[in-house]
């Protein structure tokens, strides 16, 4: 069991640029989640996939954010026209439908200059 992996671990970008993050869930986990965590806060839910279907989206997920899980395995989270307020740790988690316990990856820390 290799755990949830995320790439890159750190990303520094300039305001206005687009960024894309990748998450590889635990194999055979059909549910995948994205969260955002800012300093001193707990993670906040962004979106959720069951297989390739995006079933839930938070109001936090503005139209600059888009997430995909095209083949029901890995997922990507893209932020267009980044703003300084997007600076945060972006966490991915996965679970099975049976246990519904979410296991988290190491996160991607985004810094927008």
Q: Which residue of 16, 51, 56, 78 would you call a contact of other proteins, by CB under 8 A?
A: 56
Q: Which value, in Å, is the radius of gyration of the alpha carbons in the chain?
A: 13
Q: Tell me whether residue 75 or residue 95 sits nearer to other proteins (CB atom).
A: 95
Of the residues 10, 55, 62, 111, which one makes contact with other proteins according to CB under 8 A: 55
100 binds other proteins (CB under 8 A): yes
Q: Residues 40, 53, 71, 85: which binds other proteins (CB under 8 A)?
A: 40
Encoding tokens for residue 95?
A: 């679970």
Check if the beta carbon of residue 54 is closer than 8 Å to that of residue 69: yes
């Amino acid at each position: 069991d290799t755990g949830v992996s995320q790439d890159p671990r750190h990303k520094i970008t300039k305001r206005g640029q687009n960024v894309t993050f990748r998450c590889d869930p635990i194999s055979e986990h059909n549910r995948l989640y994205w969260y955002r965590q800012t300093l001193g806060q707990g993670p906040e839910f962004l979106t959720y996939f069951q297989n390739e279907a995006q079933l839930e989206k938070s109001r936090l997920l503005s139209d600059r954010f888009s997430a995909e899980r095209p083949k029901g395995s890995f997922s990507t989270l893209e932020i267009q026209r980044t703003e300084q307020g997007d600076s945060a740790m972006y966490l991915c988690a996965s679970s099975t439908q049976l246990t519904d316990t979410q296991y988290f990856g190491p996160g991607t820390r985004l810094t927008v200059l």
